[in-house]
Amino acid sequence: MRLSEYFLPLLRENPSEAQIVSHRLMLRAGMIRQSSAGIYSWLPLGLRVLKKIERIVREEQDRAGALEILMPTVQPAELWRESGRYDDYGKEMLRIRDRHDREMLYGPTNEEQVTEIVRASIKSYRDLPRMLYHIQWKFRDEVRPRFGVMRGREFLMKDAYSFDLDAAGAKRSYNKMFVAYLRTFARLGLKAIPMRADTGPIGGELSHEFVILAETGESAVYCDRAWLSTDILATEVDYHGDLEPIFQRWTGLYAATDEKHEPDSCPVPREELVEARGIEVGHIFYFGDKYSQPMGALVIGPDGETAALEMGSYGIGVSRLVGALIEANHDGAGIIWPESVAPFRIGLINLRPGDTRCRDTADDLYGKLLGANVEVLYDDRDESPGAKFATMDLIGLPDQLVIGPRGIAGGTIEVKHRRSGERQDVSIETALRLLTASEPGPLAASAPGTKARRPGRARSEGGRKGPRSGKLQDGERPIPDPA
RNA sequence: CGGAGUGUAGCUCAGCCUGGUAGAGCACCGCUUUCGGGAGGCGGGGGCCGGAGGUUCAAAUCCUCUCACUCCGACCA
């Protein structure tokens, strides 16, 4: 994409309404614009990131055996009366009346809706287990929206629902999602730690929240130091096998939110305990027949007996993750995207568009990168060099290629790695090889969080890896050290 | 929902106390000089001062109401 043809409305100064760094950077980098309190429009750059996250979430859900559906945003109040939540939910629920004066609501979640779908169609244990998910906009009329997309009223969420015959089956489904979540966040370049959680308004008995560590997190969390050096993607996963050992392994490592942490009875010795800030990005629940019972979602078991479905629900805050990723990946100059979610893989800067040699070289390189399926944002604008550098640093693309008269004279261009700040003058051929090869290049080796980059795969991978029943590849995403 | 603030140009803000008909920097447009970390010069466009009502000869400024947004607290993907 040529920047001269792109829509990237940058802000040079911090908008006064934005307090936290991710909110400020998202506004400044032209990713979002606020529509009203807690409601945002997504501009091209922000939308690209949102879609990348969505794709990874989708791939891991599919891999775990969940099936994608799409349920409506507007739901009938009637359904929620069946579960009893219409009155329980309170003012957080946005209630609407249609022209026939029928009571509707903009869904804050979809347990009732999905239960209604399943109860109408699944009558036998032979049709179980099933997991359904969708990625859809939700609305919760927060009293006080804040932190930009991290705590908006309208937000994009992946919510999955599992249906099993009995508690043992439900636990197996729970484990699948538990593992899928670990993998999803790891691929996003985040260290997400599952913590035992209260079930809140969803209800139920077993629940974990997934919290990522970020200096600017909203709540204090405590965990075993061992968490920092774990690599979840190194664990082989067979979703058809027994996942309980993996579940046990990852829940065995100490981790607790502020409310649950007891300094006096903490099993981890002081020197091994990490105190950090956390942001909740996912939450999973097992709640049995809380909805299936009142709503009559029943199946006949092998013994001929009728039983209410055992259910669980599993949420990931997709839009919140955009903010959370920035909280965990930024510096004074701007955003630093992990490669897996970067809106573009490479920022190509032509410092002197007026110069024929610079322009020809840049145009040529741009064409070759596109030809190699590398997502590249090409700054071909007639701007001062400083402005171009600042722009690229702000929007945080993983690598920058700088073409200017100084280098061209010596036959080189500059490659700059955004995260480390490391720069190298290399030949054009070398640059191309570095950025399109499947093997890690020299720069990558010294740069944290990029050791296994495979830049050329961005498009080609595209979610078509065939059936996801088998083993998983290792090291799809390295995990940057959050400390 | 309690408490506290803020609404003036696209962005950051001054002007308001002490009423006299709208400003700065950045951004934008034109010309020009520049050109490796948000450059310089000259010229230019842009605001019913959140909205409504009131006081006054006169309101961005004083009063009343209203709307929006933000912050702190209680609640959440």
Q: What contacts A181, CB < 8 A, 6 or more positions away?
A: A60, A192, A194, A210, A282, A284, A314, A316
CA–C1' nearest nucleotide, residue A199: B76
Residue pair A410/A425 in contact by the 8 Å Cβ criterion: yes
- Helices assigned H by DSSP within A166-226: 167-187
User: Has the ipTM of the complex gone over 0.90?
Assistant: yes
Tokens at A63, concatenated: 């891999």
Residue pair A340/A329 in contact by the 8 Å Cβ criterion: no
Map residue A273 onto helix, strand or coil. Answer: strand
Quickly give A354 CA vs B34 C1' distance in Å: 13
Tokens 């903010």 sit at which residue? A323
Confidence at A259, pLDDT banded by 50, 70, 90: confident
Quickly give A30 CA vs B15 C1' distance in Å: 31
Q: What is the pLDDT of residue A228?
A: 86
Confidence at A91, pLDDT banded by 50, 70, 90: confident
Quickly give A37 CA vs B70 C1' distance in Å: 10
Tokens 């693309």 sit at which residue? A397
- Residue ranges, CATH 3.30.930.10, chain A: 3-331
> Which CATH number, 3.40.50.800, 3.40.50.300, 3.40.50.620, 3.30.1130.10, labels domain A337-445?
3.40.50.800
Q: What is the pLDDT of residue A87?
A: 85
What's the whole-number mean pLDDT along residues A451-465?
34
Q: What contacts A102, CB < 8 A, 6 or more positions away?
A: A76, A77
Q: What is the pLDDT of residue A401?
A: 96
The pLDDT of residue A471 is above 70: no
pTM: predicted TM-score of the whole model, two decimal places: 0.89
First to last CA, chain A: 34
- CATH class, domain A3-331, is alpha beta
- Residue ranges, CATH 3.40.50.800, chain A: 337-445
Lowest model confidence (mean pLDDT) among A222-231, A318-327, A397-406, A416-425: A222-231
Q: What is the pLDDT of residue A220?
A: 84
Q: What is the pLDDT of residue A460?
A: 34
Measure the CA–CA gap between A93 and A87, rounded to whole angstroms.
Answer: 10
Q: What is the pLDDT of residue A7?
A: 93
Asked whether strand B has any atom less than 7 Å from the CB of A405, the reply is yes
Confidence at A202, pLDDT banded by 50, 70, 90: low
Measure the CA–CA gap between A360 and A382, rounded to whole angstroms.
Answer: 15
What's the whole-number mean pLDDT along residues A153-157?
95
B38 C1': nearest CA residue: A387
The pLDDT of residue A465 is above 90: no
Q: What is the pLDDT of residue A143?
A: 85
Query: Rounded to the nearest 5 degrees, what angle is found at the Cα of A319, between the Cα atoms of A314 and A320?
Result: 80
